[in-house]
Structure 1
Amino acid sequence: MNKKIILIIGGPGSGKTTLIDELTRLGYICYPEISREVTKQAQDKGITNLFLTEPLLFSRLLLEGRIKQHVDAINENTNIVFIDRGIPDVLAYMHYKGDSYPESFDLACKNHVYHQIFLLPPWENIYESDEQRYEDFDQAKEIHKHLVDTYHNYGYELIEVPKDTIDNRVKFILEHI
């Protein structure tokens, strides 16, 4: 089996979840973004924003979850698995915040490789804020830059998905696999 683990990345509010939901609806195996789950669990414990109050703990929880997603994707009985965000996203956000992290974070990026990366650019017309998204659009653009730099630092070629309808975005991705 020629397995492909494919990431959908981009800053907050760029349409990743909508795209993953549509790929799932079409029958593809897709793993959702886990940061919302980690954020919600912290909020349920009374921590308004774990990323801001304890960024290393938040990032460690994300890293563990994304490593698990990578391992699970390898074990899927299908040729293609899409994942909403990858392990290097954790480092990109740490860079954005200006925080340091242990060498194990870097090793996780090197030891868990993805086959293709599709990048969704910042898109103000679709950007929305909610209870788990604290960034405004300007911050989302800055995070986007850190994502691009971090993935490039690990040698990934990023394929930018055009701003278009969800159907055309899905078509673009499927044509480039």
Structure 2
Amino acid sequence: MEKEIIVLIGGPSSGKTTLINALNQKGYICYPEISREVIQKAQQDGIEQLFLENPLLFSELLLQGRINQYHQAKSEASEIVFIDRGLPDVIAYMNFIGDQYPDAFHQACLSHTYSKVFVLPPWEEIYTSDNERYESFEEAVQIQLHLEETYKQYGYELIHVPKDTVEKRVAFLMDFIQK
């Protein structure tokens, strides 16, 4: 079996981290979302919302972190690796706010591809905000549209994960992976 690097995408608070944690508990290799790390580091350095204050720098840091995750995933002994958000997410967010970015972002997305892309839909009933997640639910829905559009532009077939219990979402993923 060829190594599968599987990315989970979705707007803020759609259940990606919960699903990644459940997959991790089942013994799968999983890489967490790194934007919280970037945000928390910036906050320690006195920048409350790096994405809002300097979106390009924030996005460059995310892109590099996700490239590093991709290479780590490639080197894993496991045949399946799950990643919470992929490189095209960076472009989707930049498009969402209407900012420009260098062509290197596009090139990175072309040269670091994923086996499957699972999409978790916006889910108002589980939506929460916190110090690192400042978007409203309405903004989360708009981000979702940008994410799906961006991944489609890179040729990905999107697999939509239904709103359901964590256990049923895990089973849904396993059904697709084992095909």
TM-score, normalised relative to structure 1: 0.99
Q: Distance in 2 between matches of 1:162 and 1:173?
A: 10
Q: Quick one: which amino acid aligns to residue 141 of structure 1?
A: V
In structure 2, the partner of 1:140 is 140
* Unpaired segments ≥5 residues, structure 1: none
Cα displacement (A) at 1:28: 0.2
Q: Quick check: 1:116 aligned with 2:116?
A: yes
* Unpaired segments ≥5 residues, structure 2: none
Pairs within 5 Å for 1:1-150 = 1-150=1-150
Q: Once the two structures are superposed, what CA deviation does each residue of 1:138-176 show, in whole Å capped at 9, x if it has no partner?
A: 000000000000000000000000000000000000111
In structure 1, the partner of 2:158 is 158
Give me the identity figure in percent.
60
Q: Quick one: which amino acid aligns to residue 29 of structure 1?
A: I
Q: Distance in 1 between matches of 2:126 and 2:174?
A: 22
Q: Quick one: which amino acid aligns to residue 132 of structure 2?
A: Q
Q: Distance in 2 between matches of 1:44 and 1:141?
A: 29
Q: Distance in 2 between matches of 1:74 and 1:46?
A: 35
TM-score, normalised relative to structure 2: 0.98
In structure 2, the partner of 1:172 is 172
Q: Quick one: which amino acid aligns to residue 176 of structure 2?
A: H
Q: Quick one: which amino acid aligns to residue 150 of structure 2?
A: T
Three-state SS of the structure 2 residue aligned to 1:175 is helix
RMSD between superposed Cα atoms in Å? 0.5
